[in-house]
Amino acid sequence: MSEEKKTFVVTRFDPDKDEAPRQESYEVPVQPDWKVLDGLNYIKDEIDGTLSHRWSCRMAVCGSCGMMVNGKPSLTCKDPLSSYGDTVEVAPLSNFPVVRDLVIEMDGFMEKFKAVKPWIMTAKEKAVEEGTNRQSPEELEYFKQFSLCINCMLCYSACPVVGNEPEFLGPAAIALGHRYNMDSRDEGQAERNEIFRGEGTVFACSYANECSEVCPKHVDPAAAVNQSKINAVIDWATSFVVPRGQASLSEPQASQDQKTGAK
């Protein structure tokens, strides 16, 4: 084991014993290639087995190990310990209820995802004999960036609007809805745009860009939110020209051309 040591100051909270969160310090011998998560796992395995924290894949894929590290939202399995000094402060993600120690409550977050109808919507189910819904590499590339989200919730922890307005739909959910709106196989743009024009959605965003700054997968949810604002307004304006029933689940050719890049 390396002779280098770092002091981890970890926020602890046991709902059965504590009235408020408290901090506890641990001296941890660290390896040069360790991530912040490795230090927490060492504490759990070797020092204090009562510490509770979430983690799974250790490869920045599952998104479960998001925490506040020195006051900033971080994916701890990707965050190298070498980038920190002798003291590392770890706390649960901001803007979420705490279940225990570093574990947060996720139910509200997942409900917001359902609100944007994150699935392919079509006016008519395709017959089996017609084959699969094909999509070109260019059509995939058009929305791929917004499909890379791993639901780590760092963007919600960083977002100042979420902090002040807990009912705000939030960056990840809006980016997910936008991803489906951009999908060439989808015909549900009108329904999602109506959701986006509602209270606590895209127009509640103040464009602080904090969500994109902390995103470990470079999804750029801030861009998705602002693109959704434009699309929601265009859809609203179009409704005065194209009958709403016609536009509901069969998008105008202009919108389809925008998706595929046709001119």
**H helix runs in the chain, sequence order:** 36-42, 107-115, 137-144, 154-158, 160-164, 171-181, 189-196, 210-214, 221-238, 244-248, 253-260
Q: What pLDDT score was predicted for residue 81?
A: 97
Least confident of 1-10, 51-60, 218-227, 239-248: 239-248
Overall pTM > 0.85: yes
* Residue 212 pLDDT grade (very low, low, confident, very high; cuts 50, 70, 90): very high
**Exposure letters 1-17 (e unless 16+ CB within 10 A, then b):** eeeeebebebbbbeeee
Whether the predicted pLDDT of 183 surpasses 60: yes
Whether the predicted pLDDT of 111 surpasses 60: yes
Whether the predicted pLDDT of 24 surpasses 70: yes
Q: What pLDDT score was predicted for residue 130?
A: 84
* Residue 253 pLDDT grade (very low, low, confident, very high; cuts 50, 70, 90): very low
* Residue 241 pLDDT grade (very low, low, confident, very high; cuts 50, 70, 90): confident
Q: What pLDDT score was predicted for residue 225?
A: 97
Q: What is the mean pLDDT of residues 70-84?
A: 97
Whether the predicted pLDDT of 207 surpasses 70: yes
Contact criterion met (CB below 8 Å) for 77 and 34: no
Whether the predicted pLDDT of 140 surpasses 70: yes
Q: What pLDDT score was predicted for residue 3?
A: 75
Show contacts of 12-15: CB within 8 Å, 24+ apart.
12/51, 12/101, 13/92, 13/98, 13/100, 13/101, 14/50, 14/100, 14/101, 15/99, 15/100
Please compute, for residue 127, the number of CA atoms within 13 A of its CA located in the half-sphere on the CB side: 2
For each of the domains in the chain, give its residue range(s) and CATH number, in order of start.
Answer: 5-104 (3.10.20.30), 107-260 (1.10.1060.10)
* Residue 113 pLDDT grade (very low, low, confident, very high; cuts 50, 70, 90): very high
